[in-house]
């Protein structure tokens, strides 16, 4: 008998005053004892809803509308609340997506454990403390974590505490809903490692829900792929990797590539081949001779005749960052000042695209703030052409922003939900250009056309909530383009987007460079996308540049251990089964 068997399970969303929609449609599957199964899909595919349904956590407006869930032979789909509550000990546990917020901020970790033991009484009172110690050690945390409050722990530690809490139920089934999505690359790698080890040592059945096929294939023996509420494929990890049947699975797999490969190819993007100068490791940044470009790639580093509309505007200028440091004052009493950026120098030439990579806290976003004049460096200088960015005041900053624009990470919060797309794009046009009236509107529509949001008239009238994440990010890019800038600083522009949408947005950014000669500083933790859209790369670790050079060179033949660590942390479908 399977541990869990879902038959014809459907989950319906019935929001008040809106049409009901089926999030999960007639899902049937089973989980065998001790199995590690993945559930993959994009946002909106219904994978989390399914996870919440099989652990009976679905809340209104979601409702299990039909089907049975046999857990250990008993139907839990129709079980009443109190019986269900008792089932959770020794039954099924869940680790939530945003483990950051899964802990009660006003309760110590010790009390979190205490609440669970008190609720189920499955550990005698005298042994509870010892059991809690044992559990936190299992997730590789120090014992004194029990005396801390959630706010005092890092994201990775909090997620480990969540896992330990779920384990304290001694569950037969653990459902992990995007357990590492909100975490930093290196931390994600470590936490996934812990999950794999625990699954082996504790021998629970695990269901890993993720949008990242790479993460899933690395850990699981079987994968279910979900699209639009339907399980479209269910097979062993090897089958999924080598012989995907459904086109959706094929598409997902198509977006994986090893940034270390000689030629990296992702559908919808220009191929960037091995653009390596034979002279070896090139550390002089900003010097890209056309000879570096592989003739086959058709992605020259400097465009021949960029189409520009900048009449009477200064010529293309480089951003020169010279020995810049940024030190933030002590965040709280007793701690040390934080050096976010530590003596960084580089040059971003016109028309060049450079990646700035590193784990979170490496100082990449601080560097972006310094270059855009949002913050001032503690020491060092930043030049944009003739202007000293670190000394600019109001009108100077205004002139700078005409030339240097940002694309933000989160397209969901970068647009005012109350204004139409046209309004969002009209603001920079009115603020930074001389266009007025009909001409300004024409420019707005032109921008929408540039970023591929057609028919433009329709998109102009839409409100942000009517757009998908990818469409929103295109609007954000269009907004950055409105004043015809020379430089675009893109801070993790695709990290919030689904895999299938990423290529499109990346291709757009790359195309802007080719057609308009815009130079780009591409900030990311994702080395694959850095390989795809940039020529130069800088690797930051704790505010210091540990390695820099041509992207292909650095990623293929990394010299610094930190770069190697980052590369190692990238989930690779090809490593399927390696973890087991």
Cα separations in angstroms, 545 against 363, 458, 539 = 10, 45, 6
Q: Which of 24, 39, 76, 116 binds other proteins (CB under 8 A)?
A: 116
SS3 235: strand
180 binds other proteins (CB under 8 A): no
Q: Residue with structure tokens 């008993």? A: 74
Q: Verify binding: residue 17, other proteins, rule CB under 8 A.
A: no
**Which 56-75 positions form the footprint of other proteins (CB under 8 A)?**
57, 59
| Token representation of residue 451 | 């970023």
Q: Which of 66, 104, 458, 466 forms a contact with other proteins (CB under 8 A)?
A: 104
Q: Can you tell me which of 55, 172, 529, 534 binds other proteins, judged by CB under 8 A? A: 55
- Which residue, 84 or 129, has its beta carbon nearer to other proteins? 84
Asked if 161 is part of the footprint of other proteins (rule: CB under 8 A), the reply reads: no
DSSP 493-511: TTTTS-HHHHHHHHHHHHH
Does residue 166 belong to the site contacting other proteins (CB under 8 A)?
Answer: yes
Does residue number 119 form part of the binding site for other proteins (CB under 8 A)?
Answer: yes
Q: What angle do CA 424, 425, 431 make, to 5 degrees?
A: 100
The span of 30-38, 106-114, 239-247, 309-317 binding other proteins (CB under 8 A) equals: 106-114
In sequence order, the 6+-apart residues with CB closer than 8 A to the CB of 365 are: 491, 523
Q: Does 165 bind other proteins (CB under 8 A)?
A: yes
Least separation in angstroms between CB 190 and other proteins: 21
- Judge whether 563 and 285 are in contact, CB under 8 Å: no
- Which residue in 81, 52, 47, 60 sits closest to 13, CA to CA? 60
Residue 306's SS3 state is coil
Residue numbers 72-101 binding other proteins by CB under 8 A: 81, 84-89, 93-94, 96-98, 101
- Residue 44 to residue 47: CA distance in whole angstroms: 8
Q: Which two tokens stand for residue 31?
A: 């989980």
Sequential DSSP letters for 34-66: T-EEEEE--TTSSHHHHHHHHTT---TTEEEEE
* Sole window of 23-31, 69-77, 146-154, 353-361 interacting with other proteins (rule: CB under 8 A): 146-154
* 160 is a site residue for other proteins (CB under 8 A): no
Told to check if 118 binds other proteins by CB under 8 A, we report: yes
Q: Is 106 in the site for other proteins (CB under 8 A)?
A: yes
For the bound state, the minimum distance from the C-beta of residue 123 to other proteins, rounded and expressed in Å, comes to: 14
How far apart, in whole angstroms, are the C-alpha atoms of residue 66 and residue 354?
52
Contact status: 141 vs other proteins (CB under 8 A):
no
255 binds other proteins (CB under 8 A): no
Please pick, from the candidates 14, 61, 66, 107, the single residue that binds other proteins as defined by CB under 8 A: 107
In this structure, what token pair is assigned to residue 431?
Answer: 């603020």
Please name which of 466, 472, 469 lies closest in space to residue 500, comparing C-alpha atoms. 469
Q: How far is the CB of 305 from other proteins (least distance, A)?
A: 53
b/e per residue, 366-391, with b = 16+ CB within 10 A?
bbbbbbbbebebbebebbbbebebbe
120 binds other proteins (CB under 8 A): yes
- Minimum CB distance to other proteins smaller for 176 or for 248: 176
Minimum Å gap between C-beta 102 and other proteins is: 4
For other proteins, the binding residues (CB under 8 A) are: 55, 57, 59, 81, 84-89, 93-94, 96-98, 101-108, 115-116, 118-120, 149, 151-152, 162, 165-166, 168-169, 332-333
């Amino acid at each position: 008998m399977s541990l869990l068997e879902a038959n014809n399970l459907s989950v319906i969303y019935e929001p008040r005053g809106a049409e009901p929609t089926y999030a999960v449609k007639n899902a049937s599957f089973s989980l065998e004892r001790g199995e590690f199964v993945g559930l993959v899909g994009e946002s909106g595919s219904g994978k989390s809803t399914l996870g919440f349904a099989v652990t009976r956590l679905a809340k209104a407006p979601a409702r299990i509308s039909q089907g049975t869930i046999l857990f250990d032979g008993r139907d839990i789909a129709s079980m009443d609340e109190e019986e269900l509550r008792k089932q959770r000990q020794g039954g099924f546990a869940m680790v939530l997506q945003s483990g950051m917020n899964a802990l009660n901020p006003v309760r110590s970790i010790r009390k979190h454990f205490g609440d669970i033991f008190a609720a189920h009484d499955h550990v005698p009172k005298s042994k509870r403390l010892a059991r809690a110690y044992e559990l936190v050690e299992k997730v590789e945390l120090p014992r004194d974590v029990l005396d801390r409050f959630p706010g005092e722990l890092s994201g990775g530690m909090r997620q480990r505490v969540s896992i330990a809490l779920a384990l304290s139920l001694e569950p037969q089934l653990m459902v992990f809903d995007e357990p590492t999505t909100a975490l930093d690359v290196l931390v994600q790698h470590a936490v996934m490692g812990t999950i794999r080890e625990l699954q082996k040592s504790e021998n629970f059945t695990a269901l890993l829900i993720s949008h990242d096929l790479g993460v899933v294939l690395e850990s699981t023996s079987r994968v279910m792929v979900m699209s639009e509420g339907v399980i479209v494929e269910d097979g062993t990890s090897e089958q999924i990797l080598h012989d995907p049947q459904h086109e959706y699975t094929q598409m997902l797999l198509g977006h994986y590539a090893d940034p270390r490969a000689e030629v990296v190819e992702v559908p919808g993007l220009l191929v960037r081949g091995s653009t390596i100068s034979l002279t070896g490791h090139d550390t002089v940044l900003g010097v890209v001779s056309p000879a570096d470009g592989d003739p086959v790639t058709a992605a020259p580093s400097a465009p021949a005749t960029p189409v520009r509309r900048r009449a009477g505007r200064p010529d293309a200028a480089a951003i020169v960052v010279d020995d810049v440091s940024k030190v933030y004052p002590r965040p709280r009493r007793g701690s040390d000042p934080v050096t976010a950026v530590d003596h960084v120098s580089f040059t971003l030439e016109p028309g060049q695209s450079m990646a700035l990579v590193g784990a979170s806290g490496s100082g990449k976003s601080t560097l972006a703030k310094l270059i855009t004049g949002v913050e001032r460096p503690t020491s060092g200088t930043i030049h944009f052409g003739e202007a000293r960015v670190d000394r600019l005041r109001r009108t100077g900053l205004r002139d700078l922003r005409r030339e240097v624009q940002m694309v933000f990470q989160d397209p969901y919060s970068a647009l005012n939900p109350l204004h139409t797309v046209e309004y969002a794009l009209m603001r920079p046009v009115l603020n930074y250009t001389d266009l007025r009236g009909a001409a300004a509107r024409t420019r707005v529509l032109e921008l929408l056309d540039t970023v591929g949001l057609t028919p433009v008239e329709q998109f102009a009238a839409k409100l942000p909530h009517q757009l998908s994440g990818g469409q929103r990010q295109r609007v954000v890019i269009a907004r950055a383009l409105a004043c015809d800038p020379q430089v675009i600083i893109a801070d993790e522009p695709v990290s919030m987007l689904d895999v299938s949408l990423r290529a499109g947005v990346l291709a757009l950014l790359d195309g802007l460079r080719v057609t308009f000669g815009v130079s780009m500083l591409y900030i990311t933790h994702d080395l694959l996308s850095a390989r795809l859209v940039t020529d130069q790369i800088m690797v930051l670790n704790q505010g210091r540049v540990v390695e820099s050079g041509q992207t292909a060179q650095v990623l293929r033949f990394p010299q610094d251990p930190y770069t190697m660590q980052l590369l190692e942390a990238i989930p690779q479908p090809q490593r399927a089964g390696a973890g087991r």
